[in-house]
Chain A
């Protein structure tokens, strides 16, 4: 298990390194240079700025400096907000995105397992048909439409109640987090429900369920101890990649709900071509996603004994 974890971490490290390199190369492919569009009015200022950002050195030198800084966790200073370090931006805004994402994953996973199990129990009967219709809808409607509809719903609820019970936008309290994380988790929830349903139906036909019945176990016990646990396994495996989907989905939800998360900052930075912020957040996000996938795989190892002992 330890060897497996180390192997995965090593592969993850290589992936992050590749992301960092690709980021660096991409940034150097841009026609012109980062200082073109603003403050470098006179050659002296330009020279000073180039020195400040290390742009006067050769590309290889810059690359190694960049890698070194990344290794030390130093992402540099923002181009558009000269007095802000990228590290501070990440520190200020990432917790917000992470909270949103974790809540969304939580909603998606619990909802997916619950609805999936329910549809499997009521296979081809009314609850199954209704839930599966909603699931198909959830898979087919883009997240930003859900975000807009969610906001619209809140506006209507609030105007009906005559008071602002749940805030329509912004961040701070749990009430703020509720709707955005629900909206963010919806697509994943639909996907997981579908997966859980087919997984449940597959497990029902397994021989060991027949054995459990022949042992004289009650249906409830069979459901919880034999069926559910085995059916959840494939759901856990896809959770890692789904973290990535939720993270990128978070960009939109943060935009629509005016949440001060890193995603919104990232989109802004891209629109303003704030190079250091783009580079920093790209590498940071990349490392985060790679780490999450590894984490989920390791957790999976604890749930499925077959993986644990490999």
Chain B
């Protein structure tokens, strides 16, 4: 099927540090559909940024190390390329924007030059041509007075403007995928909305796929077509945005949901935090990574790594949880797979 533009299989990344090896990503697989938005959601340190950086090949190695897996862009392998080969797709087929636009642009180069640079390098344009195109790109991201703005330096821009400039820069070569690594986390809420709107608009006009990394379920709900929930270096649940929100099948997804404010339902209901902290990835647990925090933990969860069960209702909905096992006892909140609710109840 050709509408899968990016397919990631069994990706694992480790970092060697003074204290030992950190297994930051442990066998992650997902696929991105052409023209759609895929959201990777999870708390800080769960490995979501490392996953996309590994795909882009911008993990510092050493200390980083990709221990297994493949990532295919239109069938072409991206992992393990030489820097020269990697630069054939970086910035051309995949663009990337980062969390903090304030520090993600070179402070001593003008915005225009930084956008133009991509075009000069990849499209072999002169700086003059590239600079003219940079103005168009800034206009496309709705930066007012773009012609004046290109000659300015990053410190003369506001945070929201910088993120727009970052987007303009990543769009320079019309990439088919835009990776946005927490693009709105460092911005205030009103700006967040504008940036998301811009991304939405550009996705439609440019017909590109977006991989959106975030810890904010509200952003996911607004933007995503598909969602992967990451926890402790693994994808614990994946599916369409409807599956994830309405048929949540992993206790961690449920936990995230109940920690999110909502304007529907009971207004007096308190938010429920997920108690505890994620496992130490120096020595990941044998069993389920969520075992220690899971309110539905079972004896087997401690030592047995759960398989990636497919949840019954839709084909593409998976959850890595023993509760999805046919023999597992039913839990009211969790949507269940191959079992008869009446039997277990």
Contacts and interface: CB of A to CB of B under 8 A. Distances in A.
Instruction: Report the interface size class on chain B.
Output: 20 to 34
A85 B156 CA distance: 54
Interface in A191-216: 206-208, 210-216
B212 interface: no
Contacts of B90: 213-216
Contact of B91 (A216, A230, A306): A216
A64 B182 CA distance: 67
Contacts of B103: 206-208
**Which 9 residue pairs are nearest across A and B when measured between Cβ atoms?**
A216-B91, A216-B90, A214-B96, A215-B91, A216-B87, A207-B103, A207-B104, A305-B153, A213-B58
Contact of B58 (A214, A218, A304, A305): A214
Contact of A309 (B91, B122, B156, B169): B156
A211 B91 CA distance: 10
A225 B96 contact: no
A230 B107 CA distance: 8
A91 interface: no
Contact of B121 (A208, A218, A226, A309): A218
Nearest to B90: A216
B48 to A, nearest CB: 15
B92 A216 contact: yes
A208 B97 CA distance: 11
A221 B153 contact: no
Interface of B: 53, 56-58, 83-84, 86-92, 95-96, 98, 100, 103-109, 117-118, 121-122, 153, 155-156, 166, 169-170
B108 A304 contact: yes
B91 A208 contact: no
Interface residues of A, number: 24
Interface in A212-263: 212-219, 221, 225-226, 229-230, 233
Given A207-B100, A211-B98, A217-B118, 13 more contacts: A206-B103, A207-B103, A208-B105, A208-B106, A210-B53, A214-B91, A215-B90, A217-B91, A218-B87, A221-B121, A230-B106, A230-B108, A304-B108
B83 A219 contact: yes
Nearest to B173: A216
A208 B58 CA distance: 12
30 contacts: A206-B103, A207-B98, A207-B100, A208-B104, A210-B98, A211-B106, A211-B169, A213-B58, A214-B58, A214-B91, A214-B96, A215-B91, A215-B117, A215-B118, A215-B169, A215-B170, A216-B86, A216-B88, A216-B89, A216-B121, A217-B121, A218-B87, A218-B121, A230-B107, A230-B108, A305-B108, A305-B155, A306-B107, A306-B155, A309-B153
Nearest to B106: A208
Contact of A217 (B117, B166, B170): B117
A210 B104 contact: yes
A230 B195 CA distance: 29
Contacts of A217: 87, 91, 117-118, 121
A207 B101 CA distance: 9
B153 A218 contact: no
A279 to B, nearest CB: 44
Contacts of B96: 211, 214
A294 B90 CA distance: 44
Contacts, number: 82
A204 to B, nearest CB: 8
A225 to B, nearest CB: 7
Contact of A226 (B106, B122, B156): B106
* Most chain B beta-carbon contacts within 10 A, residue among A212, A229, A304: A212
A211 to B, nearest CB: 5
Nearest to B154: A208
Given A217-B87, A305-B155, A306-B155, A212 B121 contact: no
A207 B105 CA distance: 7
B345 to A, nearest CB: 51
A232 to B, nearest CB: 9
Nearest to B99: A207
Nearest to B93: A216
A209 B134 CA distance: 20
A244 to B, nearest CB: 27
A124 to B, nearest CB: 10
Contacts of A303: 108
Contacts of B153: 305-306, 309
A21 B337 CA distance: 90
Contacts of A214: 56, 58, 90-91, 95-96, 98, 170
* Most chain B beta-carbon contacts within 10 A, residue among A219, A225, A304, A305: A305
A100 B108 CA distance: 33
A212 B106 contact: yes
A226 B108 CA distance: 8
A210 B88 CA distance: 17
Contacts of A216: 86-92, 118, 121-122
B300 to A, nearest CB: 41
Contacts of A221: 121
Nearest to B57: A213
B141 to A, nearest CB: 16
* Most chain B beta-carbon contacts within 10 A, residue among A210, A215, A218, A226: A215
A1 to B, nearest CB: 14
Given A206-B103, A211-B98, A305-B155, A218 B83 contact: yes
A210 B97 CA distance: 10
Contacts of A219: 83
